[in-house]
């Protein structure tokens, strides 16, 4: 986690990608919620801000629709920022998104190890709301991460070639495996090491072998014990059934990539998860 100094002019945020991010702002103070919300709307032209005054309000909003990023104060009327972060992680159908604690006391909580892995990052509110808007842009529009390793499981040569080229165009190093069995053999050689052998796993959910993408996901989260930040997993699926999608997220997928695959969206999701994992 880090509180990097922020100097970028917030007006440069106006080049946001076409898809409007949905940002949840949780704070017990109505004035603070308005200040942060207004700042985000000025800096990010297409942002949708969901302002909540408590954990309960946030849970209701999450049940209505997923969000792309959450900011929360450390102290809330019905709990704290850590409890709010856990609620975000437990919300059905919610991808693994940044949960940023905005507080003047964040550093002391970090040093005393009071933050859980549910909290992605923290921001010192003394830097100001304009700086916070710029900080959030780093998540919404992540920069390229050269040579990051993507372990990719796909049994279709045509799809694999096209997807591999998409990722490599953005500086990512792709290790392609045609089946889960082969991918597990590779990962097994790194078991017990600080380096799991890849920085992110990208897998199709439906594969021709005995094991599916769901099996791979369950093995990584259960048998190997890799959390969502230790080894992010993106699952590609053509299934538009919301219950099936929620099941993949509950089983430990960081996010889903729906088919047909659109390059900008795939790269955005991949770079975002890599950024979160490296904090």
CA neighbours within 13 Å on the CB side: how many for 251? 20
Mean pLDDT of all residues belonging to the chain = 86
pLDDT at 27 over 50: yes
Query: What is the average pLDDT across 231-247?
Result: 89
Query: What is the average pLDDT across 150-168?
Result: 96
Question: In the structure encoding, which two tokens stand for residue 276, read together?
Answer: 């979160």
Identify the CATH class of 149-278. alpha beta
Task: Name 221's Cβ contacts closer than 8 Å, sequence gap at least 6.
Answer: 227, 233, 251, 252
- pLDDT more than 90, % of the chain: 57
- pTM listed for this prediction: 0.72
Query: What is the average pLDDT across 87-115?
Result: 79
pLDDT at 256 over 60: yes
Helices (H), the chain: 30-43, 55-64, 81-90, 106-111, 129-140, 157-168, 180-188, 213-218, 242-250, 263-278
- Per mean pLDDT, which range of 6-15, 17-26, 110-119 is the poorest? 6-15
**pLDDT (tens digit per residue) in 139-154:** 777 778 888 999 999 9
Distance of alpha carbon 101 from alpha carbon 135, whole angstroms: 12
- pLDDT more than 70, % of the chain: 89
Distance of alpha carbon 132 from alpha carbon 14, whole angstroms: 15
Between the alpha carbon of residue 110 and those of residues 103, 104, 113, 116, 119, the distances in Å are 11, 12, 5, 9, 10
Question: Which regions of the chain carry the CATH code 3.40.50.2300?
Answer: 10-140, 149-278
Query: What is the average pLDDT across 226-232?
Result: 94
CATH of 10-140, picked from 3.40.50.2300, 3.30.210.10, 3.30.70.1430, 3.30.470.20, is 3.40.50.2300
């Amino acid at each position: 986690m880090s509180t990097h100094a922020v100097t970028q002019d917030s007006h440069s945020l106006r080049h946001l990608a076409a898809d409007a991010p949905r940002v949840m702002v949780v704070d017990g103070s109505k004035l603070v919620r308005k200040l942060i919300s207004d700042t985000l709307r000025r800096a990010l032209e297409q942002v949708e801000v969901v302002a909540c005054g408590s954990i309960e309000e946030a849970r209701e909003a999450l049940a209505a629709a997923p969000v792309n990023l959450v900011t929360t104060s450390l102290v809330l009327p019905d709990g704290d920022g850590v409890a709010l972060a856990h609620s975000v992680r437990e919300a059905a159908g919610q991808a693994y998104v940044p949960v940023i604690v905005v507080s003047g006391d964040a550093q002391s909580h970090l040093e005393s190890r009071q933050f859980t892995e549910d909290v992605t990052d923290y921001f010192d509110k003394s830097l100001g709301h304009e700086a916070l808007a710029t900080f959030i842009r780093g998540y919404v529009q992540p920069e390229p991460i050269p040579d990051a390793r993507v372990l990719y499981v796909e049994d279709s040569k045509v799809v694999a070639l096209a997807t591999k080229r998409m990722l490599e165009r953005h500086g990512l190093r792709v290790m392609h495996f045609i089946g889960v069995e082969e991918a597990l053999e590779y990962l097994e050689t790194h078991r017990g090491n600080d380096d799991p052998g890849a920085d992110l796993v990208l897998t199709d959910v439906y594969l021709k072998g005995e094991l599916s993408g769901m099996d791979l996901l369950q093995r990584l989260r259960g048998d190997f014990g890799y959390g969502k930040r230790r080894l992010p997993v993106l699952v590609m699926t053509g299934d538009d059934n919301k219950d099936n999608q929620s099941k993949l997220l509950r089983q430990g997928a960081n996010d889903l990539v729906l088919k047909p695959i659109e390059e900008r969206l795939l790269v955005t999701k991949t770079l975002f998860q890599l950024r979160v994992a490296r904090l």
